[in-house]
Amino acid sequence: GENVEQHPSTLSVQEGDSAVIKCTYSDSASNYFPWYKQELGKRPQLIIDIRSNVGEKKDQRIAVTLNKTAKHFSLHITETQPEDSAVYFCAALKTSYDKVIFGPGTSLSVIP
């Protein structure tokens, strides 16, 4: 399985500001990088993912960038809103048969 580190562990931003969460991985063969959002008391849900043949992917206010050389990928949230407050998890996989090990999570608080 892959080893994923995630930073920061907690992040507090003012509403309207941007938030960036970074993950690093150890296995250069990893090629699938999902991000999950878990609101308080809820189940984790996929918000965006990226594959190794793409450097950046956007979905409205959310984007993910991938640097394969440096083995890190980042989640970018622009124009943050209070409903963005949640814990965010990243993962890195080589194949769908990999055991899915998540990063330790980042608790994001958006202050109105």
Partner 1 sequence: NAGVTQTPKFQVLKTGQSMTLQCAQDMNHEYMSWYRQDPGMGLRLIHYSVGAGITDQGEVPNGYNVSRSTTEDFPLRLLSAAPSQTSVYFCASSYQTLGGTEAFFGQGTRLTVV
Name the minimum Å distance from CB 16 to partner 1. 27
Name the minimum Å distance from CB 63 to partner 1. 18
Binding site for partner 1 (CB under 8 A): 31-32, 34, 36, 43-46, 49, 51, 89, 93-105
Pick between residue 16 and residue 55 the one whose CB is nearest to partner 1.
55
Pick between residue 33 and residue 110 the one whose CB is nearest to partner 1.
33
Cα angle, residue 2 at apex, residues 78 and 99 outer, rounded to 5°: 100
How many H helices and E strands in the chain?
Answer: 0, 10
